Every structure is written in structure tokens, then in C-alpha cells.
Amino acid sequence: MNPNQMASYRDFEIPGILAIDDKHELTRLKITTNTCSAELYLQGAHLTQWQPQQHQQVLFLSERSSFIKGKAIRGGIPIIFPWFGARTANTCDPRSDGPAHGFARTSDWQLVSSSMTGDHLTLSLALNANEVSQALGFEQFQVNYNLTIGSELELQLTVKNCSDRKLCFAEALHTYFLVADSEKITIEGLAGNEYYDKTDSFKKKRQEETLLTLRGETDRPYINTEATVVLHDPVMKRGISISKSHSNTTLIWNPGAELTAKMADMSEDAWKQMVCIETANALENAIILSPGAVHAMTAKIEVV
Ligand code: TA6
């Protein structure tokens, strides 16, 4: 970060609570309040740590993650926008080029405001069209990300269509949770829901079990569900509740041993320490916004 940029960030710092510095190539916000500690990178508006007081770290962050420009951090909460996975043509966008999971997670976001309300730090970040998005055909949109960070974590992702044509997009808060042993956790809240099994030729299935347990690679977008999901970790002796609004897709992902071995930014046994539970709108739940329209998706994460 050059000295001018650093000087402009100084206005957002809050003594004893919010400090802004560089880590490797990226600008980092370090947060310490009475109720939690956290870290966020402006690249991707990527929250990488959140630890409420009296609890262990909630988010998984790969020890092999790189913190370099243009490469997504592995862990924390990457923001996926405006497509999920590989880009595919849809009713308002014929193109299928571009990086996996869109450009938001590798773009530089602007810090718009920072303030304390009671024990909570509120941050507001924005992503507007940039050179990369324009080259990919996304010229007129605005994404805002508001985070309320304290003993609970509240996230709101708002997308505005600033163009005079329809805007079709998918989105996800691709949250990596830290667990003691991914084969010992259970996930509550998805019973009876339909999902696509990406490990079985994308077949549409329905979850019969009340509680989901993970065995091997698991990659499932559950569609048409707004339900709260609870991650039970008997070894860490904690539950994590993920409630949400205006999100109809929940994704569960764990790469398992084989896929993890092929991932340069994960250590060999990292799949045991994480599970992604993602608040999203993807596949048939993707959003179509009329010109001028706004869509806001929220997620609330609590240790219970
Ligand atoms: O949300 C699940 C998923 O789409 C998986 O299919 C998967 O490979 C993963 O996200 C991670 O993607 P990434 O591009 O970050 O390696």
C-alpha cells in the first residue's frame, strides 16, 4: 500500500479497536473489541478470522493459504459473485468465460465506513465495476457488504443493478468453519431438502437423514431452503448456528482426503479441520434483478 492510500485508511481506524496494515501484498483490518477479535482483508472483503470472547476461533483459515493479489484466500468467508463455480450462460448473460466463483473474491473492495455501536463494530465495504468486471461484461452494478462484528456476526450482501438491462447473478458467503474432526460433526437443518450431488454426476437427491454426517468428499448445493442450519461439533463442544434471510440455497462442502491432496493451498489433513456451510443464491435460486432493483441477502452466525 502506498503512503497516500495508508493515510486515507487512517480515517477509518478506531484506536484500540480497529487497526489497518499490510500483510504480504494485501491490506488487512485487525479488529479487537470487548466481545471478539477478527481480521478482514480488503481484497475480496474477505473476513479470515472471527473469535468471540470465551470461545475458540470460529472460522477455518488454511495455513497454506497465499495472501497475494489476484488469488483467493483459502478459508474464512470468500464472497462469491456474480456466478457460482464455473460461469455458465443464462437468460441475461450469454458468456461463459471468467474465473471460477466470479471476480468479487479477488477484487479490491473499498472501505466505506467503520463505527462502534455498543460492543459491535460495523464495517461497510463496496465493490463497483472495475477493469476486470468490465472485461467480463459487468459494467454497471454495485455490491455493498455490511458486517456487524461482535459476540455474533451479522453479514449483509446487497446488490444493486445500476444498468438499464436485467442483471442475473449468483452469490454466496462461502464460509469455512473450523471443526475438530469433520467426520465427527453433524449438521442439522437440511432434512427433507433437495440437493444436487456434485460428487455423483450432479444427480438431484433428497436428504433423508435428520442430521447430515460427512464421509469422504461432500459437495452439495441444497436448493429452495431458507432454514437455519446448526453445526454440532462434539469434540470442540460447541454448536454454530447459521441463520439467514433472502437466501434460498445452502451449500455444504468438504473436499475429503483425495481432493485436498491435489490442492496447493491446503495441507494434507486440512479437510478434517473444516466444513463449508454457505449462505447463497445459486443454480435455480440465482437472482434476476430489474434495472434499478436491489437485492439484500443476510446471514447471522452465532456460537450456541
Ligand atoms: O462450494 C463448493 C465449491 O463450489 C466446490 O465445488 C469447490 O471445489 C469449492 O467450492 C472451492 O472452490 P475454489 O474455487 O475456492 O477452489
Atom of ligand 1 nearest to the CA of 263: 16
Domains of the chain: 3-303 (2.70.98.10)
Residue 61's pLDDT is 98
Radius of gyration of the chain (CA): 19
Residue 1's pLDDT is 66
**Centre of ligand 1 from the C-alpha of residue 282, in Å:** 13
Cβ atoms of 99 and 70 closer than 8 Å: no
Query: Which of 79, 80, 173, 253 for a ligand 1 pocket mutation test, highest count of atoms within 8 Å of Cβ?
Result: 253
**Centre of ligand 1 from the C-alpha of residue 253, in Å:** 8
Q: What is the pTM of this model?
A: 0.97
User: Does the beta carbon of 219 lie inside 6 Å of ligand 1?
Assistant: yes
Q: Can you list the residues of the chain whose pLDDT is less than 50?
A: none
User: Does the beta carbon of 251 lie inside 6 Å of ligand 1?
Assistant: yes
